[in-house]
């Protein structure tokens, strides 16, 4: 998701497939050597990751390359290098599945990256490494590693991703969270929200942008991007309050095709969360009013799914459950107005202990 602005060498031709998933951002573990105050997915030391068996089940449910291509898969965390056996197992399985047809990227905070690990990553066919911790939210010791890492990358013939790619060289990038881009307008999630670092507001309309839900269903058209947290599939980087499906039990394309039949997800696919309730009799005007009252579209999205659309989401390992319920206003404020549908929820949210 983040850092997907500079595309890799396009290894997959759209014309060769029925469709194309442009990018899969896959958090294989939330275990991290740090516990940053701005972390959107609550990564921390000891947090849950996939088992090797679960990785295999997820990879088996990724698109069949003979049907739907996958342009790139970005492996992230947590800190992916804090659990190297899991990362290298995942890279091995993905390369076995896709070979050179899919670009494998790794996103890291850089703390644990040394020469041996870098050589292992290159030997596992990684096409790009992003160090995503160059910001004032990470410790000084992390920021100060940049020069060392740049020298390591250059010594392996890697190319700065900010420069035009003229050949198939492996690339690297450095970036981080900023108030005007990756903290401010989004991440009303996890510790970023709990610590008041997100200033996402109605005018930001993140859902309409790349890494929002816009076009997440368009694998047959313009190409789409999805966010996978452990095995759970989300339509966007901020994450709906529960996942739209799980790669542990359902193929990704089946999940997207199922969502494509729902007017609610069609509205999200259009980047219009304020219209997501129209098929249930909840007007766009109500969506706009609740977005303004709650503070941003993603909190309205949470309220919509928790109040009207729980059955559209699935039980997963990464449901944010009570975190989002905290954001929903008291019952007397959210009670549907006359003429509006009553709650259609069929399942309770998991508690923190369940997540």
Torsion of CA 26, 257, 211, 315, to 10 degrees: -60
For residue 55, give the nearest of 96, 105, 12 by alpha carbon: 96
List, in sequence order, the alpha helices (H) in the chain.
Answer: 52-60, 84-98, 115-123, 140-143, 146-155, 190-194, 252-260, 263-269, 284-294, 297-307, 322-325, 331-334
Number of H helices, E strands in the chain: 12, 9
Indicate which single residue of 5, 13, 16, 35 sits in contact with ligand SF4 (rule: CB under 6 A).
35
Shortest approach of ligand SF4 to residue 77 CB, angstroms?
5
286 forms part of the interface with ligand SF4 (CB under 6 A): no
Under rule CB under 6 A, residue 243 binds ligand SF4: no
Q: What is the CA radius of gyration of the chain?
A: 20
User: Under 8 Å CB-to-CB from 68, ≥6 apart: which residues?
Assistant: 17, 18, 19, 20, 21, 219, 253
- Rounded to a whole number of angstroms, the minimum distance from the CB of residue 15 to ligand SF4 is 30
Of 142, 123, 115, 139, the residue nearest 131 (C-alpha) = 142
Q: How many residues bind ligand SF4 (CB under 6 A)?
A: 24
Secondary structure, 3-state, 149-175: HHHHHHHCCCEECCCCCCCCCCEEEEC
Minimum CB distance to ligand SF4 smaller for 35 or for 343: 35
With CA atoms as reference, report the closest residue to 105 among 222, 237, 3, 187. Answer: 3
Query: Taking the complex as a whole, how short is the minimal distance between the CB of residue 93 and ligand SF4, in angstroms?
Result: 22
Q: Which is nearer to ligand SF4, 49 or 69 (CB)?
A: 49
Applying CB under 6 A, the span of 27-35, 93-101, 321-329, 346-354 interacting with ligand SF4 comes to 27-35
Site for ligand SF4 in 141-160 (CB under 6 A): none
Residues 311/348, Cβ–Cβ less than 8 Å? no
Pick out residues in 287-326 that bind ligand SF4 (CB under 6 A).
Answer: 297-298, 301
Q: Among 173, 273, 287, 309, which residue interacts with ligand SF4 (rule: CB under 6 A)?
A: 273
Q: How far is the CB of 243 from ligand SF4 (least distance, A)?
A: 11
Is residue 48 classed as helix, strand or coil in its secondary structure? coil
Q: Given CA atoms 299, 300, 301, 302 in this order, what sign does their dihedral have?
A: positive
Of 3, 49, 212, 309, the one binding ligand SF4 by CB under 6 A: 212
Of these, 149, 161, 213, 294, which contacts ligand SF4 (CB under 6 A)?
Answer: 213
The SS3 of residue 185 is coil
Binding mask 45-84 for ligand SF4 (x = CB under 6 A): --------------------------------xxx-----
Structure tokens at 141: 């010791």
All residues at 6 or more sequence positions from 206 whose CB lies less than 8 Å from its CB, including other chains = 185, 186, 200, 212, 236, 238, 296, 297, 298
Neighbour count for residue 218 (Cβ, 10 Å): 18
Out of 20, 24, 28, 36, which residue is the one contacting ligand SF4 (CB under 6 A)? 36
Q: Which of 34, 90, 307, 318 binds ligand SF4 (CB under 6 A)?
A: 34
Q: How far is the CB of 59 from ligand SF4 (least distance, A)?
A: 22
Residues 249 to 268: which contact ligand SF4 by CB under 6 A? 268
Q: Under the criterion CB under 6 A, does residue 109 sit at the interface with ligand SF4?
A: yes
Stretch that binds ligand SF4, among 64-72, 143-151, 231-239, 248-256 (CB under 6 A): 231-239
Part in contact with ligand SF4 (CB under 6 A); list of ranges 35-43, 62-70, 113-121, 345-353: 35-43
Residue ranges in contact with ligand SF4 by CB under 6 A: 32, 34-36, 39, 43, 77-79, 109, 133, 206-207, 212-213, 235-236, 238, 240, 268, 273, 297-298, 301
């Amino acid at each position: 998701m983040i850092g997907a602005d500079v595309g890799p060498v396009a290894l997959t031709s759209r014309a060769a497939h029925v469709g194309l998933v442009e990018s899969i951002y896959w958090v294989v573990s939330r275990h991290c050597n740090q516990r940053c105050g701005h972390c959107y997915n609550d990564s921390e030391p000891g947090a849950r990751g996939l088992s090797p068996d679960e990785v295999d089940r997820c990879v088996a449910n990724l698109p069949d390359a003979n049907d739907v291509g996958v342009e790139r898969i970005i492996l992230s965390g947590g800190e992916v290098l804090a659990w190297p056996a899991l990362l290298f197992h995942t890279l091995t399985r993905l390369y076995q599945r896709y070979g050179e047809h899919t670009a494998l990227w790794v996103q890291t905070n850089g703390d644990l990256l040394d020469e041996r690990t870098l050589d292992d990553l290159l030997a596992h066919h990684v096409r790009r490494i992003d160090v995503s911790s160059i910001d004032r939210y990470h410790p000084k010791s992390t920021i100060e590693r940049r020069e060392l890492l740049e020298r390591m990358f250059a010594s392996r013939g890697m190319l700065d991703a900010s420069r035009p790619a003229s050949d198939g060289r492996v690339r690297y990038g450095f970036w981080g969270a900023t108030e005007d881009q990756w903290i401010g307008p989004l991440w009303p999630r996890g510790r970023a929200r709990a610590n008041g670092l997100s200033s996402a507001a109605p005018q930001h309309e993140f859902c309409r942008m790349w890494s929002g839900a816009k076009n997440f269903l368009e694998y047959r058209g313009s190409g789409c991007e999805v966010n996978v947290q452990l095995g759970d599939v989300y339509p966007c980087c901020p994450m709906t309050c529960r996942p739209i499906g799980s790669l542990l039990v359902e193929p990704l394309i089946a999940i997207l095709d199922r969502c494509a039949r729902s007017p609610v997800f069609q509205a999200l696919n259009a980047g219009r969360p304020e219209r997501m309730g129209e098929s249930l009799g909840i007007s766009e005007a109500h969506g706009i009013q609740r977005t303004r009252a709650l503070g941003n579209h993603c909190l309205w999205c949470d309220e919509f799914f928790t109040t009207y659309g729980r059955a559209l989401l699935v039980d997963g390992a990464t449901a944010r459950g009570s975190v989002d319920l905290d954001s929903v206003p008291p019952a007397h404020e959210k009670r549907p107005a006359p003429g509006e549908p009553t709650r259609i929820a069929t399942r309770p949210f998991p508690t923190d202990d369940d997540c």
